[in-house]
Amino acid sequence: MERLSKLFGSPARLKTLRLFVFNRDTGYTLNEVSVRTKLSKEMVRREVVELVDSGLLRKKGTRVAARYQVNPRFEHLVALDAFIRETTSVRPREIIEALKRAGTLRLVALSGHFTGILEPQIDLLVVGDHLDDRTLANAVHSLEAELGREIRYASFATADFRYRLGVYDRLLRDVFDYPHRLLIDKIGL
């Protein structure tokens, strides 16, 4: 029980856990964890040290070039993975609020990781007018920090989306032929 008690304790710990559990095969430096989770370096260092002490993470390399990765022999890894996957979600309202700053939204569709189906090429489809690519990318990176995994997304101007929809574009078919969820639909799909 002592090991499990070290796993939970703060939102920073949860963000760090999500990052490592959803990306098991990837090793990260403290700086990379800080950037991906949008947490301070000091907070990340503290959380990673605790997770190494719990046995969940293992350290590879020297102090300066140290990389941290999930320990595949951690006894509760399967249960922890199932728990985190089951409880990790972002509310639709939070997604819309994050994306609104990028421009006038006409359609927002969730697929892929958001629906549990891994086959579609993208997880988030954004259609709108006057979309600012940099603001949209920042919004998606904020959502990635909350979720602990990369979000594959695509954005289109309304006219371009209508054209692609009319010619049965493969990317759009991958979204709409599989289970998906429309958060905003001002186009009338």
Residues 169-174, mean pLDDT to the nearest whole number: 90
Q: For the chain, what is the mean pLDDT?
A: 87
Residue 1 in this model has a pLDDT that exceeds 50: no
Measured CA to CA, the distance from residue 71 to residue 77 in angstroms comes to: 8
Query: Of the candidates 98, 95, 92, which has an alpha carbon nearest to the alpha carbon of residue 138?
Result: 98
pTM of the model: 0.73
pLDDT at residue 183, as a whole number: 93
Give the chain's end-to-end CA distance (angstroms, integer).
51
Task: Kindly report, residue by residue over 56-104, the tens digit of the pLDDT.
Answer: 999 988 777 789 999 999 998 988 888 887 777 778 888 899 999 999 9
Residue 153 in this model has a pLDDT that exceeds 60: yes
Residues 112-130, mean pLDDT to the nearest whole number: 84
pLDDT at residue 137, as a whole number: 94
Percent share of the chain, pLDDT over 70: 95
Phi, psi of 24 (to 5 degrees): -55, -40
Measured CA to CA, the distance from residue 38 to residue 146 in angstroms comes to: 9
Task: Kindly list the structural domains of the chain, giving each domain's residue range(s) and its CATH number in brackets, ordered by start.
Answer: 2-87 (1.10.10.10), 92-185 (no CATH)
Pairing of strands 124-129, 104-110: antiparallel
Residue 149: pLDDT band (50, 70, 90) is: confident
pLDDT at residue 7, as a whole number: 64
Instruction: Say which range, 4-18, 63-77, 103-117, has the weakest mean pLDDT.
Output: 4-18
Show the CA angle centred on residue 113, arms to residues 165 and 82, nearest 5°: 165
Task: Kindly report, residue by residue over 17-42, the tens digit of the pLDDT.
Answer: 889 988 888 899 999 999 988 899 99
3-state helix, strand, coil in the chain (%, to 5): 50, 15, 35
